[in-house]
Structure 1
Amino acid sequence: MQKYTNAYDGTNMQESTLIFISAFASLFLARKAAFKVGLVDKPNVRKKHQGHIPLVGGVSIYLALCVLYVLQADLLPHFFLYMGCSTILLIVGIIDDRLDLPVLPRIGLQACVAIAMMSGGLLISSLGNIFFNDLFLGEFGYIITLFAVLGSVNAFNMVDGMDGLLGGLSFVTLSALVIVFYLGENNEVARWSLCFFSAMLPYTLLNAGFFGKKFKVFMGDAGSTLIGFSVIWLLILATQGPRHVIQPVTALWLIAIPLMDMVSVMMRRLARGGNPFKADQEHLHHVLLRSGLTRKQALVVIVTIATLFAMVGIISERNNISESIMFSVFLATFISYLAAITLMVRVLALTSPALAVDR
C-alpha cells in the first residue's frame, strides 16, 4: 500500500495536466483544419445532428500522445511500436472518415497492425485458469491475439453512435485499468493510462456541449479505432507476462458492454444472412432510445451498467474469486443479455420505428 501511495504523487498530476492542455489545444486547431479539408460529419437519414461536425477527437488524442512520447518515451513498454501502429490506424481512420472506405481494406490494415504488435512481443499467450486448468495457447495465441485486436478496435468503433457514449465507456475501462495497474504496482503503465484518460477529456467536454453547440466535435473512426487499439494494448500488458496485474478473465469484465454489444449485433446480422459490419438500429443505445428513454437517460443507464461490470471484475480479482467462476458468470451474463436484447429488438420492430442517431 505504501508503494501505491508513493506512486500517486505530483508527477502524475503534472503529466496529466500537460496532456490535457495539449489535447485541448490540438482539438481547437484540428477543428479549424477539419472544416477546410472536409473532415466533417454531415447529417443524413441516419444521423440527426445539426450542421457539419468536425471528426477530430482522435486527432487531438493522438497529438497529445505524441507530446507524451517526447517527454516520457519509457513510460509505456514498446511505446515507439505503439505510436507506429497508432499512426497507421489514425491515417486509415481519417481516410475512412473522409471517404468512407470499404470494410475489407480497413480490416486488412487493422490485421497488419495486430501482426506488427505481435512482432514486438505483445501476445496473448494464456487465457488463464478458466477451465479448471491453465490454458496456454502456444502458436494458437497469434490467432487469438489477432481476433482480440480486431474485436476491441471494432467494438469501440461500433459503440460510437450517441453523444457521450464512446467517451463514457472508454472512461470506465481506462479508470479500471488505472486502478488495476496501480494496485498491481505497475506504476509506469498506470501513469500512461491516466494520461490517455486526460487526453480524452477535452473531446468529451466539447462533444457533450460544455462550450456550446458551436464547438461540438465527434471522435470519428480515427479516434474510436485508436481508443479500441489502446485498450487492447493495455489489457494485454495487464493480463500477460511476468508483470501482469490481473487474470485474463478479468479483462472481459472491464470491456463488457462494448464487447457484448458488438458480438450480439453481429450475431443477429449474420443470423439474417446480412453483412455483420453493415450499420443498423439494433445497438444497445438504439434499443433503449426506441424503448422511450431520452439520450441522457440511455447514456446514464449504459455507463452505469458498464461501471458495475468493471467493479465486479476488479472486486472479484482482489478477492481471488476463481477464474472459472468469473468466466462462467460472465458467460451466463452475456447469454442473458443476448436473449433479452434480441427479444427487445423483435418487439420494437413491431411497435416502434427506428430512430435517427447523433452520428
Structure 2
Amino acid sequence: MGMDVGLLGSFLVPLSSAIAAFGLLPLARRVGFVDHPDARKQHGVPVPLIGGVVVFVGLVMAGLTSGLWHGQAWNWCLAGAVALIGIGTLDDIFDLSARWRLVFQGMTVALACAASGVYIETLGALFGGDVVMLVGLPGLLFTVVCALACINAYNMIDGIDGLAGGVTLITLVGVAILSLAAGHTGTGLFAALACLALLTYLLFNLEIPLLRGWKMFLGDGGSTLLGFLVLWLLVAGSQRDGSFPPIVAVWLVGVPILDMLAVFARRLLSGRSPLSADRIHIHHGLLARGLNARQALVVVVAMHGAMVAFGVAGTLAGWSELTLTLGTFVAAGLYFSLSLLLGGRSAA
C-alpha cells in the first residue's frame, strides 16, 4: 500500500507542479507579477514570481497522496502555509514593511503551532546531562522565534538561481531518510514527495534547455513557504515523531541559519543594523572570488549537503547529543571564519 501511494505521488506531485507552472507563467507576465532587474539584481529581463505557488501546489498533492492532510496537526500546517505564502506574495507586490511582515508571520506560526500542538517542548540532552524542557508557553514562544529565524534565513539565502530550492531539497532528503528509518512513513513519504515539487520548480528556475524562456523565481511568498515547511518538518520530526534528537535540526537547517547568523554578526561588528542591505552572504563572497553563479550554487549546496549528511549519519550511528552539540559550535566557527575570509561588499 505504501509503495503504491509513493508511486502515485511520485507521478502526481511533479505533474501538478508542472501544470501550475505552465498555466501561471503566462498569466504572471500578463498581469505584471514579475521581478524587475535593478542595481542589486543581475537577471536581464523581468522574471515571474510564481515559484512559491508552483511548489505549494506540489506540496498539497504530496499531502493528499501521503494522507497527511487527514490529520488535524497537518491541516494546521497547510493553513499556516496558505497564510504565509499569501503575506509573502503581498510583500512581493506592495513591498510591506519588515515590522508588519514579522508580526504577521509570528502570529500565523503561533496560531498554527498552538492549535496543532506541534511546537518545541524539549531541546533534548544538549550537554549530556538532563533533558532541557520547554513545556507550554515558553516552548511555543521559542518555536515562534525559531520559525521567524528559519523563514527569514531562507529569504536571505535566496540570492542566486537554485540556492534556496537546492538547500531545501537537501534538508527534505535528510528528513525523509530519518523519518523512514524511525518508522514514521507518513512524514517520510511527504518529505520525499515534497522533494519532487522542489525539483520541478528548480528545473524552471535553472532553465534547463527544454525550458528556456520559462524561468521563474520563488519570490518572498516562496521563500517564506520553504522556511515554514522546513521549520514544521523539523519540529514534527524532533518533537512529536521523535525521529531525531532536537540538536539534529540544527544540522538539517545548516547553511541558511549559519549564513544568516554570520551576516548578522558581521553587520553588528561593523556598527551597522543586522537588517541593513549588503552583499556579504556566502554566495556573494564566492562570486566576488571569481566563481560564476552555477559554481557558487554547487559549492554552497555541497556545504549544506555535508552538514545534513553529518546530522543524518550521527543520528543513524547513535552518536550522543553532546557530540552533535559540540559539533555545531565547530561548524559555526568554521563557517564564520570562511565568511570573513571570503569577505564581500557592505554596500548594496
Task: State TM-score, norm by structure 2.
Answer: 0.93
Structure 1 counterpart of 2:195:
197
Taking a change above 3 Å as real, the CA distance of residues 63 and 212 of structure 1, as seen in their structure-2 partners, is closer
CA positional deviation for 1:275: 3.1
Q: Identify the match of residue 89 of structure 2 among 79, 91, 94.
A: 94
**CA separation in 1, counterparts of 2:302 and 2:62?**
30
Residue type at the aligned position of 2:284: H
Query: Partner amino acid for 2:118?
Result: L
Classify the secondary structure of the residue corresponding to 1:127.
strand
Per-residue deviation, 1:123 = 1.1
CA contact (8 A) 1:75 1:189 kept: no
User: Is 1:63 matched with 2:52?
Assistant: no
Superposed counterparts of 1:95-134, under 5 Å: 95-119=90-114, 120-133=116-129, 134=131
Partner of 2:249: 251
User: How do residues 132-143 of structure 1 correspond to structure 2 at under 5 angstroms?
Assistant: 132-133=128-129, 134-138=131-135, 139-143=137-141
Shift of 1:212: 4.1
Q: Which of 152, 158, 161 is equivalent to 2:159?
A: 161
Against the structure 1 CA distance between its residues 192 and 87, is the aligned structure 2 distance closer, same or farther, given a 3 Å change threshold? same
Residue 68 of structure 2 contacts residue 187 of structure 2 at CA under 8 Å; is this kept in 1? no
| Equivalent residue runs for 1:144-293 within 5 Å | 144-210=142-208, 211-241=210-240, 243-293=241-291
**What's the offset of the Cα at 1:277?**
2.6
SS of equivalent residue, structure 2 residue 336: helix
- The separation in 2 between residues aligned to 1:153 and 1:226, in whole angstroms, is 8
Alignment partners' CA distance in 2, 1:155 and 1:286 = 15
Residue type at the aligned position of 1:216: K
Question: How far is 1:89 from its partner?
Answer: 0.6
Identify the residue that residue 3 of structure 1 maps to in structure 2.
none
Pairwise CA distance, 1:92: 0.6
Partners in 1 of 2:28 and 2:52 — Cα distance? Answer: 12
Does the CA-based 8 Å contact 1:76-1:189 persist in structure 2? no
Question: How far apart are the structure 2 equivalents of 1:45 and 1:21?
Answer: 36
The structure-2 alpha-carbon separation of the partners of 1:77 and 1:232, relative to structure 1 and needing over 3 Å to count, comes to farther
**Cα separation, 2, equivalents of 1:90 and 1:113:** 11
The answer to whether the aligner puts 1:50 opposite 2:49 as a matched pair is no
Aligned length: 343
Distance of 1:306 and 1:64 partners within structure 2: 24
Cα 1:306–1:118 change in 2 (3 A) is same
Please say which of residues 69-78 and 228-237 is displaced more in the overlay: 69-78
Deviation, structure 1 residue 77: 5.7
Looking at structure 2, the residues matched to 344 and 308 of structure 1 have their Cα atoms a distance apart, in angstroms, of 19
- Give the structure 1 partner of residue 16 of structure 2: 22
Structure 2: unaligned runs, 5 residues or longer: none
Q: Is the 8 A contact 2:33 2:93 kept in 1?
A: yes
- 1:137-160 CA deviation, whole Å, 9 max, x = no partner? 234212211111111111111111
The more displaced of 194-203 and 254-263 is 194-203
Q: Which amino acid aligns with 1:141?
A: G
| 1:341 Cα offset (Å) | 1.1
Q: Distance in 2 between matches of 1:69 and 1:339?
A: 40
Contact 1:75/1:192 (CA < 8 Å) preserved in 2?
A: no
Q: d(CA) in 2 for partners of 1:199 and 1:135? A: 36
The Cα shift of 1:333 comes to: 1.6
In the alignment, is the contact (CA less than 8 A) between 1:95 and 1:101 conserved in 2?
yes
Q: Is structure 2 residue 33 aligned with structure 1 residue 35? A: no
Displacement of 1:268 in angstroms is 1.9
What is the CA distance between 1:169 and its match in structure 2? 0.5
Q: Which amino acid aligns with 1:170?
A: T
Q: Residues 68 and 190 of structure 2 are in contact (CA less than 8 Å); yes or no, is this contact kept in structure 1?
A: no
Go from structure 1 to structure 2 and tell me whether the alpha carbon gap of 1:74 and 1:55 turns closer, same or farther (over 3 Å shift): closer
How far apart, in 2, do the equivalents of 1:213 and 1:282 lie? 30
Q: Is the 8 A contact 1:174 1:231 kept in 2?
A: yes
* Identity across matched positions, percent: 31
- Calculate the TM-score normalised by the size of structure 1: 0.90
Distance 1:52 1:293 in 2: 24
